A and B are shown apart, each in its own frame.
Chain A
Amino acid sequence: MSVAAGGGESKIDKTKLMMYGLGGGVLGIYLTHVLNTITGSGYFSFLAGLGVIAAVVMGSDAVRRVCSYGIGTGVPSIGLMAMGMGLVAAWFGLSIGGVAGPIIGIAIAMGFGYFVGLLANRIIKMNIPVMEEVLMTLGGAGAIVLIGLSVVVSGEISYPLIISSVVDTGYIAIIFIAGSLAILHPFNANLGPDETQDRTLVHTISTGALAMFAAGLASLATIGAAGFLTVIIAVIIWIKTFMWYFQLVKRDSSGVVGTGLLPEGGL
């Protein structure tokens, strides 16, 4: 593998991460819907947030794999493209599929991703062997993040409810940008020759928790006080993972030494 932007060995296999990401994301979204509908409350919205974190980890690992080839446009571009594809696909799924919407949306987003990857390799001639597979993963991750965070805000999978509580209120802007940052920021912040997979992914969990936190705050206005549960759980996850991340940073850094200021005329 040509290493342009850095990116070390992968300790955790990509198929495993995809399995957890897709499975965790879909499970979180549906558990939220089912439990919230049965209990008639909004207390279980945090489960969709946890699903989002799983999907974000899957997406971030995909960003990590493709960006180590050096795509030339910076890491944020691919994360935003994932959300762009995910957005149209997710809303298409929700709009036609009813309760099955999330699965339709995720499947279509992955289809879009594979297709755009084909275009990038065949027409643009980027010749990155993992492009199709990575964009497929990223499209799926983007769709899960958007649907998951929307469900955190709306409380259940219902297209009219999501339109009125997420789109018409403008929270979609927060969800879109917080979700894409959660996917693209970790590798952007950690890249370099000393990048390690566990550090990037632990960082991803913390950025995912921040996206969940933002959606939790928005949900206070839509599902009421039950949204505090999402906010509190997100804060706990963020504190835990950020401390964990800081430990890994210290593990990976070669040493921080105070040298003092340069002496007079030292240059």
Chain B
Amino acid sequence: MIAFDANMVLYIIEIVIGGLLVGVGVHFVPVGGAPAAMAQATGVGTGTVQLAAGSGLTGLLSAGLMMGVTDNIALIVISGAVGAMIMVDATMIVGNWVYIYGVGVPPVSAKVDYDPITKEPQPPYISPGTVGHGIPTVSFVSGTIGGLLGGAGGSLIYYALMSINQNPGLSGFFAIGIFVVNAVIASYNIQGTIEGFHDPKFKRVPRAVQACLVASLVIGIFAVLITGGA
């Protein structure tokens, strides 16, 4: 039956913060979609949800691993964040190998004239008819930040749910469910593709923050009421 106590408010807040981190994190990950898969746009050549789910699940795994050792929330969240960062970085570096050595294109951004981090000029390296290709330094750094936020958010949701129902399977899948909803809302906000924090689309973050806040709040209220069975 439904039992409500003061701790639940705390858990709901944790879920909402987690959802917000996921929603904002998606904006940092360089997602190129189908054009990037053909090396005609900057970013990793797949959809937001696949990237977010891949890094988020790795984050959950590493958070779950840490949870077996300690129940210190900071360590668990950091562990999840690092796991997701490693996953996103591995995806981006292998993607870059394919773009550089397989397709034969230099990683380049089409949204800025100079890479904000390396200060390298970008336009001379863009193949005619494309909008950039590969994952340039700025997008790589941005993607790592995205992994950090997404992983931290996912593990925060997982931690909150674990505190309620004590069932790793259930918490893990609810965390994935809440994660996916926020990631998809955020990816609608960027219309499927973004290069990273230097992309003009990044300015739309406030809208995703509002939408993810409300969505996580509503789903979080229901999620904390679910018991672990038995």
Q: Is chain B found bound to chain A in the same assembly?
A: yes
Q: State the A residues within 8 Å of B (CB).
A: 71-74, 76-78, 80-81, 83-85, 87-89, 91-92, 95-96, 108, 112, 115-116, 119-120, 123-126, 159-160, 162-164, 167-168, 170, 172-173, 176
How would you classify the secondary structure of chain A's contact residues: helix, strand, loop or mixed? helix
Q: What are the 4 A-B residue pairs with the smallest beta carbon separation, nearest first?
A: A163-B229, A84-B180, A72-B192, A84-B177
- Which residues of B (147-179) have their CB < 8 Å from a CB of A? 167, 169-170, 173-174, 176-179
Q: Judging by beta carbons under 8 Å apart, are A120 and B226 in contact?
A: no
Q: Judging by beta carbons under 8 Å apart, are A95 and B169 in contact?
A: no
Complex Cα distance, B47 from A78, in Å, reads: 12
Contacts of B185 in A (CB 8 A): 81, 116, 119-120, 124
What would be 24 A-B contacts, judged by CB atoms less than 8 Å apart? A71-B192, A72-B191, A73-B48, A73-B49, A74-B49, A76-B47, A77-B49, A77-B184, A83-B180, A84-B178, A85-B177, A85-B181, A88-B178, A91-B226, A92-B222, A92-B226, A123-B210, A123-B211, A124-B188, A159-B229, A163-B170, A163-B230, A164-B229, A172-B169
Q: Judging by beta carbons under 8 Å apart, are A87 and B49 in contact?
A: no
Q: Judging by beta carbons under 8 Å apart, are B173 and A116 in contact?
A: no
Q: Judging by beta carbons under 8 Å apart, are B191 and A73 in contact?
A: yes
Q: Judging by beta carbons under 8 Å apart, are B2 and A160 in contact?
A: no
Q: Which residue of A lies closest to B46 (CB)?
A: A74
Contacts of A88 in B (CB 8 A): 174, 177-178, 219, 222-223, 226
Q: Which residue of A lies closest to B173 (CB)?
A: A172
Complex Cα distance, B1 from A126, in Å, reads: 39
Contacts of A115 in B (CB 8 A): 215, 218
Q: Judging by beta carbons under 8 Å apart, are B181 and A84 in contact?
A: yes
- Which residues of B (97-133) have their CB < 8 Å from a CB of A? none
Q: Judging by beta carbons under 8 Å apart, are B1 and A96 in contact?
A: yes
Q: Judging by beta carbons under 8 Å apart, are B192 and A124 in contact?
A: no
Most B CB contacts (10 A, CB to CB) among A95, A108, A162, A170 go to: A95
Contacts of A76 in B (CB 8 A): 47, 49-50
Q: Judging by beta carbons under 8 Å apart, are B229 and A170 in contact?
A: no
Q: Which residue of B lies closest to A123 (CB)?
A: B211
Contacts of A84 in B (CB 8 A): 176-181, 184
Given A85-B181, A95-B225, A160-B229, CB of A120 within 8 Å of CB of B188: yes
Given A76-B50, A96-B225, A119-B211, CB of A87 within 8 Å of CB of B184: no
Interface check B65, CB cutoff 8 A: no
Tell me the smallest distance from the CB of A208 to a CB of chain B, in Å: 21
Contacts of A96 in B (CB 8 A): 1-2, 225-226
Contacts of B191 in A (CB 8 A): 72-73
